[in-house]
Each structure stands twice: as structure tokens, then as C-alpha cells.
Chain A
Amino acid sequence: MAATSDAVWSAHGTAPDEIEAALRQLLVERHAENDKFVPARVLNMIAFVDRQWTGEIANRLSGVGRYHASRLLVLAYEPRRERLDARVTIAAEGDPDAGELALLRETVVVEIGKHHLDDLLTIADPLVVTDLPTLLWSPHGHEDVVQELLALCQAVLVDSVDEPVAREALERACLLSDRAYVVDLAWLRSTPWRERVAGAFDAPWLRGELPGITGVSVRHHPDSTVAALLLIGWLASRLRWTVGPLEGDGVTMTGRARSERQDVALRLQAAPELQVRGLEGVTIDTASGRCLRLDRGRGGLRASSRDAAGKTREWTIPGASRGEAGILGEGIRQALLRDATYVPAVKTAYSMLS
């Protein structure tokens, strides 16, 4: 395939119906240009961003690989703006080879001011594809706008590690989850860890060790306390632990939970040496004397297990890092799925800080 080709329309002082008409006309023109150009119809995404950061947001979204929303509506906010300006781009993945199709992706950037916020729904509503699920992303805060736009959206994308205070991040996620499906990038960063912990106890003769867990220690990037809390919240909610409060100094947090059989010691430890956001490692101890330790490593997770007799074994579990762009792409993809284990995990994590 050749490089991406764009068709562009823009206008100053425009209105939503004019933008929507331009979208339809551009689609007709692109299809006339090449009948192998077909619009993708998967997901709407509304990004509410501060106008001065639109370039940064565009860069982040350009790195999501194939997980682009089929229609991206960027509401670029500049408080003192009076006029509605818009730019519509319909990009084709390239000239399709014989027998192939090229998907069209639509990006609508609308520049709005403070006085547009009162009628924000009437601006956004005509510009999303009816009947497609819609994902909302507001990376620069604007909680009041988020609450308004949720009326149009089925899912909301958050990154709980972006919030400076873990408790507030978890509280926000809990509140949002009452109104929409929450896709939390902090949760997605823990997916490989959850998969591996689940796998480590999956053999029938090891499942019996789960009620015998006596200690969980999670090491994390200093900015990713929430990711560690979510991992512990997941374990506690899945294994029906009763959790107590966590206490600490911001570098180390400790607490206890109660399982059916015994107390579980909980520990969160910041790992300043970790270069990327997310988790550095997790250690799980059981009453039988077993210990599983997983650590981030090159080309996968470094695993270490100690059996009940005290013998230790180490090995590598291969897996490539997805990187931050990959995590964002995964977040967009997850808007079409439903993971019922997040809400119990985040609520459990929040209860440990309340």
C-alpha cells in the first residue's frame, strides 16, 4: 500500500450542521475517487483537550497503531474563543492493491470557547456516527465537561496514574464507573501481570494455594501507585479478601487484608529506578512456604519461584513491552469490550485508602 492520503475541509465561524455536511460530502468524494475506499465504522472517540496541547494529543494518537477510532472528534478548548472553527480530515490508508480495500478514518477538530460549553452536546452530537459506541477522553481534566459529554458516550478513557493523588484518582474512577464503562490505562498496564499471576496458580494442584496467600508485595514506578493499588484490589476482590486501610509515607505503603483462612500482609513499594510508568514487580507468598516473584525484565517477565521445600527456580516468561503508545491503543480497543473485574478492583483499592 502507498502512504496515507488525506482529504481536508476547513472553515472559520462554522456550525455543526455545516461540519456534518462537509463530512458527508468528503466521504462521497473519497468514494468517487476510489471505490475501494470504505469508511471504518467501529468506534467514535471524543477527545476534549486544551487547545495548546492539541499537537501533543495528536502525536499520542498517531502512535496507537491500528487501534484508531474510526471517527475522532477533537474538541479543542480555548476559553476566550468566540468563534467555532473546524477542520475535517478523511484519511485513507493508501491506494489499495487489487482486491483489497482501504479504510477511511475521519478526524474532526472543532475549536471551541467557554461560551460554547453550555451547548456542548448540541455541537458534539451531530458529529459522531449514530449507532457506533462512543469513547470519551479528556486528558486535561475538565470534570464538568466530562459529566456533560457522558450523555453521548458509553465508555470513558482515563489514566488513573495521571492524577497526583491516588485516592482522588480512585474516587474519580469509582464515580465514573457508575455512569459509563471505564477504560483505565493504569489497569491495562497491569494486564500482563494479572495474566501471569492467574497463570501461576492455574494448575489444579496450585489453585488450592490461592486461599493460602499470606503476603503480596508490589513494586511500582513512583508515579504509578494507583497501578499497584489496582493489582492488589484485583487480587482482593477476586479472592474475596476483606481489606484494611493502607498506611505509609508515599514511598512504602503497608496494610493487611483478611482471607478466609488468615491475614494477608500487603506492601506497596515505589521503585525509583523504573524508567517507565507501571509495575516493576510483584511477590506473592503462601502459607505452605511457596513464593512467586515476577519482575519486569528485557523481553518479558523474570519469574522466580520457591517451592514449599525451599528450592528456588528462575526462568523468563517472554513477552514484548507495548510501550505507552501501545497502552493508549489498547485503551481504545478495550472500549469495545467489557471487563467486569475492573470495578470491583477499583472499589476495593479505593476502600483501602478511605
Chain B
Amino acid sequence: MVAIATGVPADPTEAENPLTAGLERLPVGPTTLVIFGATGDLARRKLLPALYNLAHDGALPQRFHLIGVSRKEKAHEDYRAECEEAIRRFSRRAPDADVLKGLLENVKYVPGTFDNESVYAKLGELLDGFEKKAGEPLNRAFYLSTSPSFFPTIVEALGSSKLAHHEHAEVRVIIEKPFGTTLQEARELNRRVLSIFDETQVFRIDHYLGKETVQNMMAFRFANGMFEPLWNRNYIDSVQITAAEDLGVGTRAGYYDSAGALRDLIQNHMLQLLCHVAMEPPVSFTAEEVRNEKVKVLQSIPQPTPAEIPEMAVRAQYAAGHAGGEDVPGYLQEEGVPEDSTTETYAALRLEVDNWRWAGVPFYLRTGKRLARKITEIAVTLKPVPHLAFSQDGSLGVRPNQLVLTLQPNEGVSLRLGAKIPGTRMIIRPVNMEFLYGTAFLSQSPEAYERLITDAMRGDATLFTRNDEVEAQWRICDPIVKYWRGAKAGPLPQYPAGSQGPQEAAGLLRDSDQWRAI
């Protein structure tokens, strides 16, 4: 570590910066971002385009450097050319040549394997060099965009090479999902990460939390007085959370076959959605308060026992079928999928949140690939009215009110109400009152990674998962994963591609419930 020529005053003032008032974008401290796995798919498709778009909007730190680390040997110039190609191909807007040039000027590359000490020595030299040139300490953010098996190696190497802490600047580590593949792995990874870094330095990515739509759920619940009085077991009958995809496994067979639907989506994203539905209002919208409330929800969900699992969890795999007017192959016929794979491409759970607010209300979660269409939604069904004086003949009749929060593709809120059919008789049928976010805002939502990278560089952990949160999620899913892998699991049901999913999923529902059409 080199001494910074300008030095830092011994007693820096912590007073608020009066110049930030009124600014939509708060300043981000000068930062060097180091991406491990810099030539991988995530870096090329998401991280580099996100960095370009932040640069385009003038939202990067005043001083920003990027260092790519990967196994392949290449010169800085070659890596810059790769960055440019990835940005041109995957950016949400056509890059401005001058902005792109300015961004790439500050890009360096370090080749080597992640367990090689010389990689970290070289990294240290570059980081120190940037600081010396800048004449001020620069924050450091290490982004682990590698295979999860490298996470402990990289973290421990950062520790042993003295790169995990900086006397005058913030050091943060951003860890991509999956954070472990079992509860034991997650605990072990947390133990190893937290033996090097403090929890406040760790930013575990769940990119769903960076989506504007998920953040809107907080505003929907806690900025509107009309919903909260109804938001409990006295008025809500059930909650359904669906994340359906119409596409198959595509090019992700390698990862997906080892993960499956439960670990790919339910263990992280869908449990996060459940938390947003079920959490108590936080005292303040700070990282710790929000995450405290989410952890309480996860801890209120009983850990499934082997005897309960067949009654509360269903898995299935898609078979050949029809999607988008075309014949499509089954999962086992997809490229890269082992012929005898028993990986589930569909998973559905019935969970209970055993606390004062939610006791007795089933939370149904389902996700799957190659379903009828792509949709992510949360449907909250209210209890029926206690007495019905209206005729049910000749109409669809009165149905319980249902509030549907759609996260994609058309973000919005829909409320199902009963309304009289025009005519001489008092006949009721359900109608929808709809609100679509796209009709009500001028601004375009930023990509999730743009928001998350900025927040991590600013040190705001609100949209990242905490260690106890991750372990609480695994506590719920781990027994199900183990059961499905065991001998008692029974044959793996199938469902035709392009369908609503397996018939077995209906077995999770109470008699009075039904799955919403996908």
C-alpha cells in the first residue's frame, strides 16, 4: 500500500454535505470496481452494459476505474476491446462514442487463476497505482461474478493479500447468486466470508431486489393507508405468488440442471417476494430495519419435515409440447441436459407464515419453465363476504375480491370487484379495476444491475440479502431439496411444454382455492 501524497486529515468532518440537497442522484465515492469473472456471461451481458449506462447518465463516481480479472491471458487493450463489443451488443441504448471511450480509458485487466497469489499482488499494484495517480484514497468494490465454487477462494485470497480492508477508504465485496446450494454450504460460505469481511462490507446480490417493480411493493403497501387495515388473516384468504416462464432452459442447461426450479427461483427471488408481502412495516427505510423485518417473516415459516413435504411441495419436469404455435422439445431433449436428469423445471410450495398477522393463511408459490406464458405476479385473495343477497343465476356470480400485483410483463395492480350486470335483474359478475405503472410515469425503470451496482458502491445494503436472511431462506428450502433427491420422493411428474404446469400442483390447494390461470 502506498502512502497518499495528499493525505487525509486525522479528524475528517462527518457533517452532511449541504450541496446534495435536491439532487436526484446522490454522489458516489470514488471507486475502483474489480470484476472477478470479467469475461463471463454475466459480466458481458449485464455488468458492463450497466456500467456504460451509468457512465452515459453521468452516474458513475467522479473517479472510476474498472479492473477485470479472469483466467485467460490477454492484454489490457484486448480486454477493453471485449468490453466495447459487449457494451455495443448488450447495452439498452446505443453507446455514445465519446462516453464509451472515456469509460474504457480507465479499464485494466489482470489475468490468472483465482487461487494464484500473483493475481492479487498485481491487483494490489493496480489499485495502489490508481490511488497514487488520483492523489486520494479510492473505495474498492470486488464483484464476484464467478462460479460459486470460487467465492471462498477469492474472498480468502483478498484477505491474505491485505486487500479486504483500507485505512482511508471503503472496501466492499459483491457476491452473485447462488449463495450456497444447501443450508450447510450457505452457512460455511457465510463463515468464510465473514472471517475476512465485516457484514457491512458484504453485498449479496439478488437481482430481483433491484427491480423497480419489487421496490414498488413497499410503496404500494406502506404509502397507501387503504390496504394495511385489510392486510392480515382476518381479511386475506390466501396469497399466490407465480413466476412463470414460457421459454425452456435455453443455454443455461449446465447451471440449471444442477440447481433446479426450487433453488433457481424459489429459494431466493420468490421468498423475497413473499417477505415483501408479509413483512411488518419497517420503522425506517434503512437497510437494517428492512432486512430485520424480512428475516422475521422467514423465521415465521416452519421448516418442513419429511412427512409434510409431499403435502406441501410439488415438483415436475416439462415434456415435449407446444409453445408459441411450435413444437418444442422436452427438458430431457434440450441441449446439454443429461438424458437421465431428474432436475425439476417446475416447483410449487404451500407455505404458512406462523405469526400473529398471517396464521392460517396459505402462501402458494409456483415457478416453472415452458409454461403457458411469461408472468410474475402476486395475487392476494380476500375472504368472501359473509352473506350474499344477490342472485348467482345466469352469471359468473360473486367472487372474492382479488388484488393482483403484476411484476412483469405489464407492471401494475388489478383489483377484482363484483359489479352489477346492466339489466333489469340484480346479477353480479366480477370486473377488474386496473392500474398500469406504464401509463402513469414518464421515467423508464433503470436496469436492476445499474441500481444494484450504484447502491453497492454507495454502501447502501437495503436491496441486498443479509447473512441471516440467506440462511433463513435455505432453512426452508433445504429439507425439500434433500427430500426430492432421496429415495422417498417417488417418480418425477411431467407436464407438457406450454401448459399450466403439472396436475399434481392442484393437490397443494385447499378445496376452496384454485391456481390462477397462467
Contacts and interface: CB of A to CB of B under 8 A. Distances in A.
Interface of A: 38-43, 66-68, 70, 99-101, 103, 191-192, 194-205, 207-208, 210, 235, 238-239, 298-300, 303, 305, 307-309, 311, 313, 315-320, 332-333, 336-337, 339-342
Contacts of A340: 21-22
Given A101-B410, A299-B101, A318-B102, A195 B22 contact: no
B22 A341 contact: yes
Contacts of B5: 307, 309, 311
B440 interface: yes
B27 A202 contact: yes
Contacts of B9: 205, 208
A320 B28 CA distance: 18
A318 B58 contact: yes
A99 B27 contact: no
A195 B25 contact: yes
Which 9 A/B pairs are nearest by Cβ-Cβ distance? Answer: A299-B98, A319-B58, A341-B22, A199-B27, A198-B19, A205-B12, A318-B55, A318-B102, A202-B27
Given A300-B58, A308-B6, A204 B23 contact: no
A101 B438 contact: yes
B298 interface: no
Contact of A99 (B8, B57, B100, B410): B410
B21 A66 contact: no
Contact of B442 (A210, A333, A342): A333
Contacts of B24: 337
A319 B18 contact: no
A41 B440 contact: yes
Given A42-B440, A210-B19, A204 B13 contact: yes
Interface in B67-121: 96-103, 105
Residue from A191, A202, A318, A342 with most neighbouring chain B CB atoms (10 Å): A318
Given A194-B23, A195-B27, A202-B27, A38 B439 contact: yes
B230 interface: no
21 contacts: A40-B440, A42-B441, A42-B442, A99-B373, A199-B62, A204-B12, A207-B12, A208-B9, A235-B19, A238-B18, A299-B97, A299-B99, A300-B55, A307-B6, A313-B135, A318-B102, A318-B103, A319-B55, A319-B56, A319-B58, A339-B22
B15 interface: yes
Interface in B320-336: none
Contact of A201 (B12, B17, B30, B58): B17
A90 to B, nearest CB: 14
Contacts of B22: 339-342
A232 to B, nearest CB: 13
B92 to A, nearest CB: 13
A191 B19 CA distance: 12
A318 to B, nearest CB: 4
B63 A315 contact: yes
A111 to B, nearest CB: 28
A207 B440 contact: no
A203 B135 CA distance: 13
Nearest to A301: B58
Contacts of A68: 442
B408 to A, nearest CB: 9
B439 A40 contact: yes
A309 B5 CA distance: 9
Nearest to B21: A341
A299 B60 CA distance: 13
A67 B442 contact: yes
Given A192-B58, A203-B136, A320-B56, A99 B374 contact: yes
Contacts of B18: 210, 238-239
A99 to B, nearest CB: 5
B20 interface: yes
B444 interface: yes
B409 interface: yes
A198 B20 contact: yes
B489 interface: no
Contacts of A197: 19
B65 to A, nearest CB: 10
B251 interface: no
A204 to B, nearest CB: 4
A208 B13 contact: yes
B134 interface: yes
A316 to B, nearest CB: 5
A300 B98 contact: yes
Given A42-B440, A299-B102, A341-B21, A100 B409 contact: yes
A303 B96 contact: no
Nearest to A317: B62
Contacts of B8: 205
B133 A313 contact: yes
A319 B57 contact: yes
Contacts of A201: 17, 19
Contacts of B374: 99
Contacts of A337: 24
Contacts of A319: 55-58, 99
A320 B442 contact: no
B99 A207 contact: no
Given A204-B14, A318-B55, A340-B21, A307 B135 contact: yes
